[in-house]
Structure 1
């Protein structure tokens, strides 16, 4: 016997997603405390991206860098 989901989210119609066989996947991004600790470390150590901008023509070269 299949169980019935009773929780509802206002404004969310799941039927179109089911009909299109959509896949919903969650991700784990860590806690707010972890995020704040990361930002503090970035600021204190003056970290900067290795590649800050790349033109479309240089994207493959940048990817292999």
Structure 2
């Protein structure tokens, strides 16, 4: 996410039939403005469930099922 070009080995993509999908994000200034707006308006993310590090596999399982609403978090103490 730090430029328009880069070197990628496409062999694993071709051999394992992997799908690659790009994303576009805004600038750092836009990110900082968004964070200021979130803080000023006291907007908080919706959290579906919080897992411990030991429950990481269950967190990935919940994400794979797609039945969650909001963020899936892993608490790192």
User: What TM-score, normalized to structure 1?
Assistant: 0.49
Which structure has the highest strand share of the two?
2
- Larger Rg belongs to: 1
Which structure is higher in RCO with an 8 Å CA cutoff and minimum separation 6? 2
